[in-house]
Structure 1
Amino acid sequence: MKHLVYIFCFLFLVACDKGEKDFNQSPETQFSIKEINLTGENRLNSVVRLSWYGKDPDGYVKGYELSFDNNTWSYVTNQDSTFRFSISAESDTVDINIYVRAVDNEGLVDPSPAFLRIPLKNTPPEATFNEQLEFPDSANIVVTGAWTASDVDGNESIKAAYLKINDGQWFEINRDRKTFSIIPENPSTSGRGNALIYYENDKNPSSLILDGLRVNDTNTFYLKVVDVSNAESKVDTSTTFYLKGKNNDVLLIAGLSTIPANIYKSTLNNIGVSYDYIDFLVNSSENLPRLWNPTFTLMLLQYEKVVFFSDESAVINPYNNQSGMLLEFAAPSFQEYANIGGKFLITTDFKTTSNMDPIYGVMPIDTLAESSDFGVRIFNDSAIVPTNNQFPLLYPANFVDAVNTFYPTSDAEVFYTGQIKKPNNNWRGPNIVGSVRKRNGKAFQVFFSVQLWKFNKNQSDLDALFNQVLNVEFN
């Protein structure tokens, strides 16, 4: 009997021991840091990286639950994360409470979650004008700029951007479209006035009207941004630039040296055409647009008629260091200009190796003659001949070498042909050196593949051509 009592007690103890092993113990949780004791300017910004860990005495930790109110929990499996907290408007500091509790392999959670209070301070955003696209010393009607902004609390916390011109008011601008062009509301009036703003490559202005712009005077722009807590960036100041206004409805654009430029100026003066003048080569090409579109496009759109002369020489775009002919850069803008009814006369020449892709089709030229280059000449006893007797024959002052001939586009008409020769034999290629596109029976695009300034043996004939084009066809 005594032995049976011993056996019963042993079995009871074993059973009790097994019961204890079947009872699951809860896991424990800790943050990697116990507390953050920071105040004032030493508070953290709103981007914080935290880590945590857990341990389980009788199993393993399979995940964690996070909460910001000790009530609503989100399950995660990672042991660290970067948090981007938001600070409400009208406040530049906030304390964030965060809780974490481990979950073991049987789903049991830590009944006493780890707790951490995070002291945060909003960091003001930053805004700067784009130095690569800084404003030139002098601009013609249109000035184009760009800006950037950042916030260590997250760029999405930037809620507004503001631009001010000189001593004008601050105006809120589109914070998502960071390239802009400014044009006087009335570019023909000197002095202080309103301005229109165009975003990126838009051809129509925003509805916003800015004040403070000075035409035919110096100008400075100011920029700032504001975040969701209403913290403002420091004001960034642009370089100061001179803005030239518009005086006439005709624009003469020079891409050649002084001698040809003076001939074209004299020609327009002789026929009574008043014009604005821009030299793209003067002072190391300081007037070249950094962004041809929109800057050059918007400038063209301010004029009714444009005369453009250049040659095959390459220029360097100061913004992106791309190399190309002036007309190569300008052609897309001329296409936009023609689309809204603009009228232009272009006189230039090329090499057979020139990149013509941006030009073909935009101008009334389909392809250059393959062998049209050195040795293809028009002598001073020969001429370029119009297909319409209302226009004059033009004789060169000296023989013209490396004459370019071409095939026009299907929507264009032959305008001028050349009396062309090659040494020891006659030229057998096309002899077209001028073409036109017409609208309602009148030319609106006139293109020459020769430099007309060289055909001034009789200046009165050159005058007559420009007079017929600018004062008759373009009116």
Structure 2
Amino acid sequence: MVKLNNLFAILQTSFLLLFLLLTGCKQRPNEPLPNARPETYISVFPDSALNQSTSNLHLHWWGIDPDGWIKGFVFSFDRKNWFWTYRNDSIFKLTILGQDTSYDFWIFSVDNTLSMKPEEGQGVDFVDKNSDGYWDLGEPFNLSPNDCYDDTPATLKFPIKNTPPTVEFAMTGEFSGTRLDVPDTTFPIVSFQWIASDIDGDNTISEFWVALNDTTNWVVVPGQFRFLTIVADAIDDTVVDASVYPSSTQILGRVPVQGKLKMRLDAENTFYLKARDIAGSFSQTIKMPEEGKRWFVKKPKSDFLIVADYGIADNSISFYKSVFDSLGLEYDVWDLRVGARYPRRGILVPPFPRVDFTETLMKFYRYVFWVASDETNFDIAAVSLPRFKTKGGKVLFSFILPQSTTPGFDVGKAISDFSGVVDSISSTPLTGFVPSGTKILNYNPQDTAQRSNYPVLVRDSPSDNPIDGGKIVAFLRELYPSINAKPIYWVEPRTQWNNKTFTIGVESNDKSFLLVGFPIYRFNGLKNVPDFIEDVLKNFGILAKFSNLKR
């Protein structure tokens, strides 16, 4: 009985050893399983972008590897050019090729068995078995080992809908206080500025179309510009050709674009603008002036301009006009103060004086009479008069300053810059109130050899100027002539300013620029201001052009 039990135990152990041996040989613990390829997935947020998206497309992707982890991805938009990335998302700017464009996106993941170390954005080649230039299913990529990547890339089709551009005016003036739209009255040189954008990228804006009054006649401006100036070619008719000069900054462009606009003179005009993108889509058309406003283009009557930069309530400008009328002169008036209310400048001051004001002087005028009651618009004078002088322009400039001027603004330098006839002026007034009867002398009381041929002028009084003679005149300052000029007027010594005299009028050596630091109209006590003005104009040569003088 014991032997049988022992035999049974021996057989049982033998079968167990045989089973273990057989099952152990089948599992082969030292031989690894083959690498499993990863799988790749794509998403776009929001999902509605799969229907129609803009050209800025935000894509997300990821991979799943059953026996490892994802090392990177390879993607393409055309199946010809494939690129490596370590990222899991990106925003792609896709080019709009027409009103609507479709793009296909392919991407596959690469797992951690990759033996290479590609750089971000590095190109990845494939074996083009059929030599058609495109990757096709079953064609291997040059990645090692060849089972490290998903050989069935994930793909999505993206219909890209073109978005029209937008445009709006942005008349941001170069000087503080200027208006943000076209003035209601201008001369025939006017600038416009705008901003434009496109969801598909501002670089997709290919051009701007502009029109003047007639929206069947458009002129095309290249898309890199956001500023232009319209310049009348001539002023010999009621409707004239006008050229369009685009610029990248607030200056007059160097070359006009092809095509002409039709500008109406002594009439109202309307400017139209729209943007066009590379797909041919247009923005909405905008116009200036807006509804309820007007833009009147004034035709220059002569080459003589009065700049009324005068904010004192008196009859100065009317008086000067009467003098010029009596001389038989035609003239234009540019009022820089009408509608002004600090810190806003006058409503006829253009947003871009460096272009509109300066180029108007340069193109249409030879003579300027500028009357200023303070330094408000000296910055405009500083950007315009130097250029005006270089082309032979002649200027009579009369100014008076308040007791204290704009903080931080160097009035003396500004006057020196725009006139060239003074190096500076006294930083503070040398007089208080100037009493009636005060003389502006044509000689220097301290050196009578210094004198001019202009008449002595006397401050008015209520008896000789019933309307304005009783109003205050004050705060005269000394002018310091430059080497290019000579003094022509001196203030009479009086006890009110310690019996001192100082220079108050200066003229350039060539008699083309005359600067006086007092309000000329208020020194007509001897009724000879018209004689002074006539003498100046004779020196300018303007009177020689007129044969019908009344005086």
- The interval holding the TM-score normalised by the smaller chain is 0.7 to 0.9
Q: Please, which of 375, 385, 388 is the counterpart of residue 432 of structure 2?
A: 375
Residue 177 and residue 412 in structure 1: after superposition, are their counterparts in 2 closer, same or farther (change >3 A)? farther
Residue 160 and residue 328 in structure 1: after superposition, are their counterparts in 2 closer, same or farther (change >3 A)? closer
Question: How well do the aligned residues superpose, as a CA RMSD in angstroms?
Answer: 2.9
Give the unaligned 5+ runs of structure 2.
Answer: 1-13, 115-147, 173-179, 341-345, 444-449, 462-471, 543-551
1:8 positional shift:
7.5
1:37 positional shift:
7.5
Residue 463 and residue 237 in structure 1: after superposition, are their counterparts in 2 closer, same or farther (change >3 A)? same
Q: Please, which of 321, 324, 335 is the counterpart of residue 265 of structure 1?
A: 321
Residue 203 and residue 272 in structure 1: after superposition, are their counterparts in 2 closer, same or farther (change >3 A)? farther
Post-superposition CA distance 1:50-104 (Å, at most 9, x none):
111112223222221111133421111221111111121xx31222100111122
In 2, the alpha carbon distance for the partners of 1:408 and 1:25 equals 93
Q: Please, which of 501, 505, 509 is the counterpart of residue 434 of structure 1?
A: 505
Instruction: Tell me the number of residue pairs that the alignment of Structure 1 and Structure 2 aligns.
Output: 450
1:115 positional shift:
0.8
Q: Please, which of 442, 457, 460 is the counterpart of residue 397 of structure 1?
A: 460
Report the 3-state secondary structure (helix = DSSP H, G, I; strand = E; otherwise coil) of the residue aligned with 1:172: strand
In 1, the alpha carbon distance for the partners of 2:55 and 2:269 equals 38
Q: Residue 182 of structure 1 contacts residue 197 of structure 1 at CA under 8 Å; is this kept in 2?
A: yes
In 2, the alpha carbon distance for the partners of 1:336 and 1:198 equals 19
Q: Please, which of 29, 42, 51 is the counterpart of residue 17 of structure 1?
A: 29
The residue that corresponds to 2:373 in the other structure is: 311
The residue that corresponds to 2:42 in the other structure is: 31
Q: Please, which of 423, 430, 451 is the counterpart of residue 366 of structure 1?
A: 423
In 2, the alpha carbon distance for the partners of 1:196 and 1:305 equals 25
In 1, the alpha carbon distance for the partners of 2:193 and 2:36 equals 62
In 1, the alpha carbon distance for the partners of 2:22 and 2:483 equals 112
In 1, the alpha carbon distance for the partners of 2:330 and 2:229 equals 27
Residue 181 and residue 385 in structure 1: after superposition, are their counterparts in 2 closer, same or farther (change >3 A)? same
In 2, the alpha carbon distance for the partners of 1:350 and 1:131 equals 30
Summarize the alignment of residues 98-247 of structure 1 with structure 2, pairs less than 5 Å apart.
Answer: 98-107=105-114, 108-130=148-170, 133-167=180-214, 169-187=217-235, 189-199=236-246, 200-202=250-252, 206=256, 208-239=258-289, 240-247=294-301
Tell me whether 1:457 sits opposite 2:525 in the alignment: yes
Instruction: Give the structure with the higher percent strand.
Output: 1
1:466 positional shift:
1.6
Tell me whether 1:444 sits opposite 2:495 in the alignment: no
Which amino acid in structure 2 is aligned with residue 349 of structure 1? I
Tell me whether 1:93 sits opposite 2:100 in the alignment: yes
Report the 3-state secondary structure (helix = DSSP H, G, I; strand = E; otherwise coil) of the residue aligned with 2:458: coil
Q: Residue 181 of structure 2 contacts residue 351 of structure 2 at CA under 8 Å; is this kept in 1?
A: no
In 2, the alpha carbon distance for the partners of 1:71 and 1:142 equals 54
Report the 3-state secondary structure (helix = DSSP H, G, I; strand = E; otherwise coil) of the residue aligned with 1:161: strand
1:118 positional shift:
0.7
Q: Residue 35 of structure 1 contacts residue 116 of structure 1 at CA under 8 Å; is this kept in 2?
A: no
Q: Residue 307 of structure 1 contacts residue 346 of structure 1 at CA under 8 Å; is this kept in 2?
A: yes
Post-superposition CA distance 1:199-230 (Å, at most 9, x none):
33127562545232111111111112221111
Q: Please, which of 376, 381, 398 is the counterpart of residue 330 of structure 1?
A: 381
1:34 positional shift:
11
Q: Residue 328 of structure 1 contacts residue 359 of structure 1 at CA under 8 Å; is this kept in 2?
A: no
Q: Please, which of 74, 79, 83 is the counterpart of residue 70 of structure 1?
A: 79
In 2, the alpha carbon distance for the partners of 1:286 and 1:404 equals 30
In 2, the alpha carbon distance for the partners of 1:180 and 1:395 equals 48
In 1, the alpha carbon distance for the partners of 2:266 and 2:490 equals 43
In 2, the alpha carbon distance for the partners of 1:344 and 1:204 equals 27
Q: Residue 454 of structure 2 contacts residue 488 of structure 2 at CA under 8 Å; is this kept in 1?
A: no
The range that moved more, 60-69 or 125-134, is: 125-134
Q: Residue 357 of structure 2 contacts residue 384 of structure 2 at CA under 8 Å; is this kept in 1?
A: yes
Which amino acid in structure 2 is aligned with residue 155 of structure 1? D
Q: Residue 394 of structure 2 contacts residue 540 of structure 2 at CA under 8 Å; is this kept in 1?
A: no
1:388 positional shift:
4.9
Percent of aligned pairs with the same residue? 24
Report the 3-state secondary structure (helix = DSSP H, G, I; strand = E; otherwise coil) of the residue aligned with 1:225: strand
Residue 391 and residue 33 in structure 1: after superposition, are their counterparts in 2 closer, same or farther (change >3 A)? closer
Q: Residue 404 of structure 2 contacts residue 428 of structure 2 at CA under 8 Å; is this kept in 1?
A: no
The residue that corresponds to 1:315 in the other structure is: none
In 2, the alpha carbon distance for the partners of 1:217 and 1:258 equals 30
Tell me whether 1:473 sits opposite 2:540 in the alignment: yes
Q: Residue 26 of structure 1 contacts residue 110 of structure 1 at CA under 8 Å; is this kept in 2?
A: yes
Q: Residue 442 of structure 2 contacts residue 452 of structure 2 at CA under 8 Å; is this kept in 1?
A: no
1:6 positional shift:
8.2
Q: Residue 378 of structure 1 contacts residue 421 of structure 1 at CA under 8 Å; is this kept in 2?
A: no
In 1, the alpha carbon distance for the partners of 2:506 and 2:457 equals 15
Post-superposition CA distance 1:288-308 (Å, at most 9, x none):
222221121122212001101
Q: TM-score, normalised by structure 2?
A: 0.75
1:261 positional shift:
0.7
Give the unaligned 5+ runs of structure 1.
Answer: 313-323
In 2, the alpha carbon distance for the partners of 1:174 and 1:76 equals 37
In 2, the alpha carbon distance for the partners of 1:255 and 1:242 equals 21
The residue that corresponds to 1:251 in the other structure is: 305
Q: Residue 27 of structure 1 contacts residue 55 of structure 1 at CA under 8 Å; is this kept in 2?
A: yes
Structure with greater Cα Rg = 2
In 1, the alpha carbon distance for the partners of 2:252 and 2:95 equals 34
In 2, the alpha carbon distance for the partners of 1:361 and 1:238 equals 35
Q: TM-score, normalised by structure 1?
A: 0.86
Q: Residue 184 of structure 1 contacts residue 215 of structure 1 at CA under 8 Å; is this kept in 2?
A: no
In 2, the alpha carbon distance for the partners of 1:143 and 1:37 equals 46
The range that moved more, 331-340 or 76-85, is: 331-340
Post-superposition CA distance 1:282-323 (Å, at most 9, x none):
2443212222211211222120011010112xxxxxxxxxxx
Report the 3-state secondary structure (helix = DSSP H, G, I; strand = E; otherwise coil) of the residue aligned with 2:384: helix
Post-superposition CA distance 1:176-197 (Å, at most 9, x none):
222222222113x342120122
The residue that corresponds to 2:464 in the other structure is: none
Q: Residue 221 of structure 2 contacts residue 257 of structure 2 at CA under 8 Å; is this kept in 1?
A: no
